[in-house]
A and B are shown apart, each in its own frame.
Chain A
């Protein structure tokens, strides 16, 4: 059951070979065994999960079955879920039980899925190693001395360690794809506007996008079918026809044109990562794809642009955490100003504070034009690069990260090095494009390597097809960490 695909689980449930209660218990048991060491979950609530499982079993017995009915899904703790502690990895929300459901949660609930727990993450999704979580870092299940990536490290770890069949995640600069790569699983960040942001605690509104994590592209497609869709409560949500993201999975790739950005392969990529990626590309050639060289000259600017825009938006988005209405409030203060200062000084961690400071600075009078406006112009140029590239190819491929998972503490004192983990991923957020990562082998210290696939706007079905075809002829996605710690 632990290694089964979502389709297999759905069959088992539909055939009454297993009930949702039993399935949920299996994963709860697994979490109980592993979570102490891996720290993938912030909150597990057996009672609430089993209530949902019970309801799912009723749906199944009454014949109201949808593809995910009765299947446990781990929810990133950035999504508000009614009755669940929703912390966003922060002390600031360490006492916040959400009174409402995010649209994503609503959609999974309507699909009959079971929330198996809320996954750990970098505080307010700010981080690439999960070391900024107030709840302590998540460990990489392949090697517990390595980071799982971030910010969706808990979700990636949960799927990789088979503590959940699938998980939700969010991606502002790479937070789905980087941890997916580092944990050897599949993850997709859809086109901006495809998945509702309502109820997803905002980091950088113009970049944030939710997406699924799973073992395979086939599973991701089923999850996308639940997650994607217009939501009137999110003004940036895209009004489009609903699609079946599984529809193109089996298409052959013989007419596929893969673009390889020459800038990515020139320098900066570690040798182990490069050889795994090159092997994957070779596999695609075998599948009939043609390779073209493309150029993304401005993507080198994406980290500086990202680290102006994302903190700018974050500095404003995080203003609501002021100790007045909910969440953490400093226990002692002399007046209002002091209450604000102490609450925010105590409630936020160092990385969050760093980004609030950067964001406040770049929006300040006299600096706005030089930083914020300039970054917005460059953002346009970065997006234009992709538009040009997509005239020559259908998808763009490269490594998801420049290196395999690093060790704890290796980059935590050097924010710039940490930020460079997202060098290949953040450009797609700036452009609003969909991107995904699939496992394509192992590098140094036998740690996973991810292949980054960037599609054109709303080409998720095509990207899933491309990933699925690869996964039909390789088995990297079926590998699970063999020596998991046992309690």
Chain B
């Protein structure tokens, strides 16, 4: 039987506010345990939550970026359960009426574009962390993370392969970073994925029983976990078994998913509206303001690059995978409008390669877009060869001559000889020195031409512009 995999994702994006969603404590990562947990975060008796509107603004920003409906009012609800890293004994979340409803995002799979629909996105607070090691048989609780604002983004089950799921997660990752609502740091847990996976016979409509896979903190794990889980489910079904609805945990070391809890053990969270928080009203004016403050979105830019610069879909996609890279590209191409492809190739190639080697971000690139444009200009006008350009770029990276391409070219004497009369003079010398080759060429031996070019290049130590040498030599020999 042919099987179809059906995937929906729930992504928790940590919002980039400096303080927590219901308290004034800092959200900075990596502090000593429990140094960033105030009375509200540790749920002292009598304390009350006060909503951080910075978190709301970011949620709305996301909503308008994906073309969703912004609910006003939306309702904060309590999700009740006991756990030591959940100080109040409930998590403040949104249940029946989330702040963001609907919307969609476009993903690229190969050369095809696909739309993934969003169900909702809601605001909630993060829990703390339980540390089960190194406490002499006890568990440690770190409440620094408790109360960190999260936007939980829930997709419809619109993805049909792990590749699509990864493309969706990446598109969302790009979007949240692009709009500045989340730093997207997956190692620090700022962007976490849970995947709902089910399979069904191809051609059928009914959804199969799904399993939710938790703890997917990289795109690679997301892909591998889905692949494993789909295989597992197909095997069970093909052997005549049934899928149990459950929550499973991905174990990256063993590359497998395993049962965390079954549906029967699922908590009854006893959701009800939080009486400490008023319904969240968001005015049309505020939505309009936020909409106006949105940067040009990645999807829009991608299409513009294809249309205005003639870039391929692939190149445009890579350049718009991060706003910083797209901005770098735009600043470069602004100075070389007719050389967009050259700019794109260099940024995606040499620049990205060098950044990866140093493991730094493009915003920290020692070669500025203006400096890069200076280099690319000298390639395009024939001043230097593509081969020399790589040397010049390395010198610029090292900061030689203040990173100025022209100064480096001059200092290193890499300038091509492009002066017609100079080249003519050199050719005349070569023709006089090698009469035999001239005769060979004229008698029809084409190869002799290349030999003569070689002699000219040798005489100039490779600095003569090969194009010019070719055309002038040809003229002289006619």
Contacts and interface: CB of A to CB of B under 8 A. Distances in A.
Interface string A389-406: 000000000000000000
B270 A363 contact: yes
Contact of A364 (B43, B270, B275): B270
Contacts of A234: 48, 50
A320 B46 contact: no
Given A99-B39, A236-B278, A360-B270, A316 B49 contact: no
Contact of B272 (A198, A316, A319, A326): A316
A381 to B, nearest CB: 18
Nearest to A88: B45
Interface stretch (B82-90, B151-159, B174-182): B82-90
B415 interface: no
A324 interface: yes
Given A325-B43, A365-B268, A235 B80 contact: no
Nearest to B272: A363
B82 A319 contact: yes
A370 to B, nearest CB: 14
B82 A322 contact: yes
Given A320-B43, A320-B89, 15 more contacts: A80-B44, A98-B45, A202-B276, A233-B48, A235-B50, A235-B276, A236-B278, A315-B80, A316-B78, A319-B82, A319-B90, A320-B88, A336-B84, A363-B272, A365-B270
A99 B44 contact: yes
A333 interface: no
B280 to A, nearest CB: 10
A202 B88 CA distance: 12
A199 B47 contact: yes
A235 B270 contact: no
Contacts of A99: 39, 44
B46 A80 contact: yes
B87 A325 contact: yes
A451 interface: no
A205 B273 CA distance: 11
B46 A316 contact: no
A368 interface: yes
Contacts of B46: 79-80, 98, 102, 197-202
Nearest to A320: B43
Contact of B51 (A80, A200, A235): A235
A249 to B, nearest CB: 32
The DSSP consensus for interface residues of chain A is: loop
Nearest to A231: B48
A324 B84 contact: yes
Contacts of B272: 312-313, 316, 363, 368, 372
A56 interface: no
Contact of B48 (A197, A204, A368): A197
Contacts of A307: none
B33 to A, nearest CB: 13
B277 interface: yes
Contact of B276 (A98, A102, A201, A236): A236
Interface of B: 39, 42-51, 78, 80, 82, 84, 87-90, 139, 141, 268, 270-272, 275-278
Of residues A312, A325, A364, which shows the largest number of chain B Cβ atoms within 10 Å of its Cβ?
Answer: A325
28 contacts: A88-B45, A93-B45, A98-B46, A99-B44, A102-B46, A198-B48, A200-B46, A205-B275, A234-B48, A235-B51, A235-B278, A236-B275, A236-B276, A313-B272, A315-B80, A316-B89, A318-B89, A319-B80, A320-B45, A320-B89, A321-B45, A322-B82, A324-B141, A325-B42, A325-B43, A325-B87, A340-B82, A363-B270
A235 B51 CA distance: 8
Contacts of A100: 39, 44
Nearest to B268: A365
A184 to B, nearest CB: 30
A326 B44 contact: yes
Contacts of B43: 320, 325
A96 interface: yes
Contacts of B268: 364-365
A105 to B, nearest CB: 10
Nearest to B79: A316
B276 A233 contact: no
A96 B46 CA distance: 12
Nearest to A339: B84
Contacts of B271: 363
A319 B269 CA distance: 13
Interface in A333-356: 336, 340
A317 to B, nearest CB: 9
Interface string A204-238: 11100000000000000000000000001111100
A233 B50 contact: yes
Contacts of B90: 316, 319
A314 B272 CA distance: 12
Contacts of B141: 324-325
A318 B88 CA distance: 8
A152 to B, nearest CB: 16
